[in-house]
């Protein structure tokens, strides 16, 4: 599966910070039931690798690893079964290793230099991060003009209210967001939030 196919699967990719691996599978089930199949498990907690393994058991889920910042982490998440990789930024070393592996890769970019580094590696799909504090939609429109082949998944500060504006910009294939899994929400509430997010127009 290509990174473009993954990005086009859901309008919203939930960015998940899992503290307890025991919650991973029911959380994934609620998200998939609500219509969000692409799940990004961030490497911000000790439970992340086990969470990836648990979410992979959910039928229909496409489980990737986010916040991958070095080659050691890349090896760990691949061993856990990650189907795609998301990084907050882009270094030549990490990028080269992931590109050579053939695993779908969505590196973070915030400026023209970042995108050019990605182009050098043959990449055309990027996470625009952190989206709101990097200048918002206005900044992405300015960046997308010279890099007309590039497609984006803006992440960082995006809300249900602002997501339709981002999704209305043609180079944006999806957005990343954490609002679909608010702290303390029940699985039923997560499913409802996922259903609303899945229904956002692209």
User: Which active-site residues does the annotation give?
Assistant: 40, 127
Helices 48-55 and 24-33 cross at an angle (nearest 10°) of: 50
Nearest-angstrom CA–CA distance, 17 and 161: 22
> Within 13 Å and on the Cβ side, how many CA atoms surround 3?
22
33 and 61 in contact (C-beta within 8 Å)? no
C-alpha distances in angstroms, 55 versus 5, 76, 200? 20, 16, 24
51 and 195 in contact (C-beta within 8 Å)? no
Positions of E strands within the chain: 12-16, 38-42, 62-66, 85-87, 105-109, 125-128, 151-152, 175-177
């Amino acid at each position: 599966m290509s990174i473009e196919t993954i990005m086009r699967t859901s309008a919203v990719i939930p960015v998940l910070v899992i503290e307890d691996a025991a919650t991973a599978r029911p959380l994934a089930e609620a998200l998939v039931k609500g219509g969000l199949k692409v799940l990004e498990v961030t490497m911000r907690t000790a439970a992340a690798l086990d969470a990836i393994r648990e979410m992979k058991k959910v039928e229909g889920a496409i489980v990737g690893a986010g916040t991958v910042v070095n080659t050691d982490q890349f090896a760990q998440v691949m061993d856990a079964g990650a189907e795609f990789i998301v990084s907050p930024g882009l270094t030549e070393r990490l990028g080269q290793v992931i590109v050579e592996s053939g695993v779908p890769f969505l590196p973070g970019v915030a400026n023209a230099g970042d995108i050019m580094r990605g182009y050098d590696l043959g990449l055309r799909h990027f996470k625009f991060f952190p989206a709101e504090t990097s200048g918002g939609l206005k900044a992405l429109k300015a960046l997308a003009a010279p890099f007309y082949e590039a497609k984006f998944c803006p992440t960082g500060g995006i809300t249900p209210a602002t997501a339709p504006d981002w999704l209305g910009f043609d180079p944006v294939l999806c957005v990343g967001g954490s609002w679909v899994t608010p702290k303390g929400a029940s699985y039923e509430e997560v499913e409802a939030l996922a259903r609303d997010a899945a229904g956002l127009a692209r």
